[in-house]
């Protein structure tokens, strides 16, 4: 008789923990469940996975299986020791011996029946598994991320139909957006993922936040940066100017003799959080147009009076 490698079927190591085996079973059972799988050999693979899990989930069965693994040869044939018998595989007539289970026709392999007897397998009728988790990217404006609140959107997802099978259906979903969410952050909606099988619980829906580009601010984490146009005399003499923030305009003190490109910080004016982000303001000088003789005379006076060479650093 051919030896059946349950660890290979489950895709786990022989040292796998009970949790690892359970996770592998759920994944494979969902993949090969005949009601939803498109694999050509889904039903056969589903039975193999169910049989492997029936053995490996039970500490007693697994321990006995691990002991009997030594009785396989390199060709994959299996022959138990002559005195082998299993107390738990008894029938009405006494001990169930190796030769008692050659061809059972009950959905288990001969190998399984030889080791563990005629016991009910987790078949299609009593299979229960948690549904898969679903993922969706949720675009948000920077203002929505700053203020938080309730967001409604439409999403097509799998739901259990009248016959229990998953069917695609578009539904309205409402989610509470915490203040200060950032790109890449995930929000979990329990039970809003794919439906479970056989009465199992539904999976979860994970929403990945994606902040859409903003016309004024760039975002890095919770910090915001914007370019602030200033007049030449505001850079030279200093000024108190209004600066837009997501929470409303605030006053910013531009120091005298500030430089174009200089970055000033508005502490805590970025996205909310613990701690809140900051808003950075990059100064950009904007030159006024010369529209009159008086304007021209003013610039001429500045040129004569001020000792200023903008290309001084270029001189070797």
* Domain locations along the chain: 6-116, 134-211, 223-305
Q: How confident is the model at residue 149, as a pLDDT?
A: 95
Fold for 134-211, please state it.
HSP40/DNAj peptide-binding domain (2.60.260)
Report residue 151 CA to chain centroid gap.
Answer: 20
Does residue 309 sit in helix, strand or coil? Answer: coil
CA nearest neighbour of 21 among 60, 56, 59: 56
Contact in structure between 10 and 25 (CB atoms under 8 Å): yes
CA nearest neighbour of 181 among 145, 157, 149, 150: 145
Q: How confident is the model at residue 141, as a pLDDT?
A: 96
User: Is 223-305 in the same CATH topology as 134-211?
Assistant: yes
The CATH number given to 223-305 is 2.60.260.20
The CATH number given to 6-116 is 1.10.287.110
Which residues lie below 8 Å from residue 178, measured CB to CB, with a gap of 6+? 148, 187
Maximum distance among all alpha carbons in the chain? 120
Q: How confident is the model at residue 116, as a pLDDT?
A: 65
Q: How confident is the model at residue 237, as a pLDDT?
A: 95
Q: How confident is the model at residue 161, as a pLDDT?
A: 64
Whether the pTM exceeds 0.85: the reply is no
Q: How confident is the model at residue 89, as a pLDDT?
A: 37
Task: Quickly count: other Cβ atoms within 10 Å of residue 79's Cβ.
Answer: 12
Q: How confident is the model at residue 86, as a pLDDT?
A: 43
Compute, in degrees rounded to 10, the torsion defined by CA atoms 55, 59, 65, 67.
180
19-54 per-residue burial string, b: 16 or more CB within 10 A, e: under 16: eebeebbbebbbbbbeeebeeeebeebbbbbbbbbb
pLDDT (tens, 9 = 90+) of the chain, 316 residues, equals 678 889 999 999 988 888 899 899 988 888 888 777 778 888 888 888 888 888 888 887 787 787 777 777 666 677 665 555 443 333 333 333 333 333 333 456 767 766 665 444 444 444 456 677 788 999 999 999 999 999 999 988 766 666 555 677 888 999 999 999 999 999 999 988 877 665 668 888 999 999 999 999 999 999 999 999 999 999 999 999 999 999 999 999 999 999 999 999 999 999 999 999 999 999 999 999 999 999 999 999 998 998 888 888 887 6
Q: How confident is the model at residue 311, as a pLDDT?
A: 84
Neighbouring-strand partners of residue 152? 174
Q: How confident is the model at residue 202, as a pLDDT?
A: 80
């Amino acid at each position: 008789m051919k030896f059946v490698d349950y660890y290979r079927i489950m895709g786990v190591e022989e040292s796998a923990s009970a949790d690892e085996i359970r996770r592998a079973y759920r994944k494979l059972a969902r993949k090969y469940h005949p009601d939803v799988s498109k694999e050509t050999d889904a039903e056969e693979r589903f039975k193999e996975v169910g049989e492997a899990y029936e053995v490996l989930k039970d500490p007693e069965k697994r321990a006995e299986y691990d002991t009997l693994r030594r009785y396989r040869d390199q060709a994959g044939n299996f022959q138990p020791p002559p005195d082998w018998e299993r107390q738990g595989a008894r029938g009405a007539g006494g001990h169930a011996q190796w030769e008692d289970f050659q061809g059972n026709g009950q959905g288990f392999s001969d190998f399984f029946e030889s080791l563990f007897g005629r016991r009910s397998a987790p078949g299609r009728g009593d299979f229960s598994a948690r549904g898969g988790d679903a993922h969706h990217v949720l675009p948000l404006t920077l203002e929505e991320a700053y203020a938080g609140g309730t967001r409604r959107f439409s999403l097509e997802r799998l739901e259990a139909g009248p016959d229990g099978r998953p069917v695609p259906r578009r539904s309205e979903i409402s989610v509470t957006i915490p203040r200060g969410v950032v790109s890449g952050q995930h929000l979990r909606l329990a039970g809003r993922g794919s439906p479970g099988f056989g009465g199992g619980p539904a999976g979860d829906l994970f929403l990945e936040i994606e902040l859409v580009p903003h016309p004024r601010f760039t975002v890095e984490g919770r910090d915001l940066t914007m370019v602030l146009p200033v007049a030449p005399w505001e850079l030279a003499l200093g000024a108190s100017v209004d600066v837009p923030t997501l929470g409303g305009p605030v006053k910013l003190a531009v120091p005298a003799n500030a430089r174009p490109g200089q970055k000033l910080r508005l502490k805590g004016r970025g996205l909310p959080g613990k701690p809140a982000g900051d808003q950075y303001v990059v100064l950009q000088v904007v030159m006024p147009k010369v529209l009159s003789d008086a304007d021209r005379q003013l610039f001429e006076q500045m040129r004569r009076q001020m000792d200023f060479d903008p290309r001084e650093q270029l001189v070797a």
